[in-house]
Amino acid sequence: MKKEGSQEPSFTNVEYKKKPFKTIGKEAIELYKSTTQKLLKWQEIQINCIMATNPDGLWKHMVYGLCVSRRNGKGEILAAREFDGIINLNEKICHTAHRTTTSHDAFTRLYTLLKKAGYEEHSRKQKVMPERSFFASKQYGLEHIEISGGGIIDFRTRTNNGGLGEGFDLLIIDEAQEYTTKQESALIYTVSASPNPQTILVGTPPTVISGGDVFVRLRESVYTGKAPDTGWAEWSISEQTEDISDVETWYKYNPSLGSILTERNIRGELAGDPLDFNIQRLGLWVSYNQKSAISETDWTEIQTTAKPKLKGDLFLGVKYGRDGANVAMSIACKTEDGHIFVETIDCVSVRAGNKWMFDYFKNPKVKKVAIDGAGSQQILADQMKDAGFKLKPILPAVREIVLANSMFEQDLYAKKITHSGQESLKQVVTNCEKRPIGSNGGFGYKSLVETYEIAIMDSMILAYWLCVTAKDTVPKQSISY
C-alpha cells in the first residue's frame, strides 16, 4: 500500500464527521472531476468543510482559515471552490494574493480548468456569449474571468486600499500569512452586501520575513472559542522539533506527501535553518510577528522630557547576560499620570561581583526584585539571604519571562510605559529582534549589534513586569479616640 501523508488535519474546529453535517461541496468536487483532474482525499474533505451549509442553506462558515505547509496543493482547493462559484453558484469573486505572481498563477490554474472542462473562450467584442463560454482578461496583475451566465472572478495583488467600493460574494485571501490589518480594513467590507458572503484565508504559519497579523489573530480567536461562524483547519506540529530528518513527522504534517510531494524533495530542504523548516514544512506556529522590532520612533514616542512624578513602590530587575560576562540592573515605578517609568541603573562585568547591587536592595522603597540568568540567579539569591536582606528575590520561570515580554510589548505600543531617553537603554532597545523561547511559541529579545548587551533590556523588562503586576499598597489607617 502506497504511503501517504495524514489526510486528517492536526487541528480543526469543524465537526465534519458528526451528523448532521450538510455541505454542497460534493457538487464542487464532481465539477472539478469534469476537467479530468482529481482532488486528493484531504482536499475533498476541506472542500466539503468550506462549503458546509446551515439549516437556512447559507454558509456555515462565513470565514474559513486553512493552514498547511508549502507545496501541498492548497491552490487546487481554492481553484475547485472558485470553479464551482463561477459555474454553479453564479458568484462574484475576488482572489487576492500578496504577490502578483501568486495571483497570476491562480488565474492560470482556473483558466486551465475551464479549458479542460470544455468551456470556449470568446472575445469581449461579442455581444452575446454562447453557453459554456467565457471571457478572460489576461492583463498581468488585473486578470479577470467572466462566465456565460454571470459568474465573475477578479485576481488582484493586495494593497492597503485595494478593493474599496467594490462588492463580492466570495473573498479569497491567498498567502494569508502576509495579510495585514490595513489590508483587512480595505477588503473586509467588500462582501458585506452579499446575501451569502464568505471569506477564505489560506496560507502557512508566519516566517521570519512575514509581515501579516490577521492570520495569527484569526487562529487565536478560533483556539479561544471567540470566532463565531468561522471554520479552521491546520496541519501543524505543536512544538519545535530538533529532529527535522524524521520522515514519520514529515508524513504527519504534509497531507500530500507520497502523492504530489516526495520525500526526496523534502530532504533537499534539510540544509536550511531548522526553525524555518519547522515553520514552513511542519507547520509550526510561533505566536509573534517575527518581522517586528522596536524602532527608534516607537521608543522615542514614549520618552518623557519632564521629570517623572513617581508614586508608590520601586521594583528592581536583575539580568545576567547569556554569555555570563555581564549583569544589568534596572528599576521601574508607577507615575502619578498612570504610566510605568523604567530606567537602567547599571551594567557591570560579573568579575566585579554582586555587592554593588546591595545598596539598592537596602532601599526601603524597593518592594520586589526579580533575578534571571541560569547559573547565576541562585548565587545572588543565596548572597542576599546570607547578608540578611528581608527582600525575598523572585526567580522567574520561563513562562513568567514569556509573559513579561508579551506584556511589555503590548504596553509599549499602548504607550503605557515611559522613560527619560537614557542612551544606553535606547541603543539596546532600538537594535533588537525577537527570538523564540520556551516550547509554546513564546518570545524574548536578542541584540542585533554584537557589542550591545541585551541584558540591559531584559533587566528593564523584569522591573517593568514586577511593577505592572504589583497591587497598589494602601496605607493602613489608625483610628484613635
The b-or-e profile of 172-192 (16+ CB within 10 A means b, else e) is bbbbbbbbbeebbebbeebbe
* 8 A C-beta contact, residue 437 and residue 401: yes
| H/E run at residue 65 | strand 63-67
* 8 A C-beta contact, residue 61 and residue 233: no
The CA–CA distances, whole Å, from 290 to 66, 181, 204, 287 equal 21, 16, 14, 9
Greater pLDDT, 479 or 148? 148
pLDDT of residue 289: 44
Mean pLDDT, to the nearest integer, of 136-154?
94
* 8 A C-beta contact, residue 393 and residue 370: yes
* 8 A C-beta contact, residue 47 and residue 129: no
**Residue 306 is placed in which grid cell?**
519632564
pLDDT of residue 471: 78
Can you state the percent helix, strand and coil of the chain, rounding each to 5? 35, 20, 45
**Residue 130 is placed in which grid cell?**
454562447
* 8 A C-beta contact, residue 392 and residue 417: no
Using 50, 70 and 90 to split pLDDT, how confident is the model at 163?
Answer: low
**Residue 308 is placed in which grid cell?**
517623572
Share of the chain above pLDDT 90, in %: 75
pLDDT at 477 over 60: no
pLDDT of residue 474: 47
Helical spans, DSSP H, in 242-334: 247-253, 263-267, 274-280, 296-301
**Residue 285 is placed in which grid cell?**
506556529
Helical spans, DSSP H, in 212-303: 214-223, 247-253, 263-267, 274-280, 296-301
pLDDT at 255 over 50: yes
Mind listing the pLDDT tens digit for each residue in 177-209?
999 888 998 899 999 999 999 999 999 998 766
What is the CA 117 to chain-centroid distance, rounded?
Answer: 38
pLDDT at 176 over 70: yes
Mind listing the pLDDT tens digit for each residue in 63-81?
999 999 999 999 999 999 9
pLDDT of residue 480: 45
Share of the chain above pLDDT 70, in %: 95
Architecture (CATH level 2) of domain 11-280: 3-Layer(aba) Sandwich (3.40)
Mind listing the pLDDT tens digit for each residue in 86-108?
999 999 999 999 999 999 999 99
First to last CA, the chain: 92
pLDDT at 83 over 50: yes
What is the CA 261 to chain-centroid distance, rounded?
Answer: 26
Mind listing the pLDDT tens digit for each residue in 409-443?
999 999 999 999 998 898 889 888 888 887 677 88
Domain boundaries, the chain: 11-280, 296-469
**Distance between CA atoms of 294 and 460, rounded to whole angstroms?**
15
**Distance between CA atoms of 325 and 317, rounded to whole angstroms?**
17
CATH no. for 296-469: 3.30.420.240
Give 394's strand partners: 370
pLDDT of residue 266: 97
pTM: 0.65
Helix-then-strand count for the chain, H and E = 15, 17
**Distance between CA atoms of 113 and 151, rounded to whole angstroms?**
15
Across the chain, mean pLDDT equals 91
pLDDT at 228 over 70: yes
Secondary structure of 194-242 as H, E, C letters:
CCCCEEEEEECCCCCCCCCCHHHHHHHHHHCCCCCCEEEEECCCCCCCC
* 8 A C-beta contact, residue 136 and residue 144: yes
Mean pLDDT, to the nearest integer, of 465-477?
73
* 8 A C-beta contact, residue 436 and residue 405: no
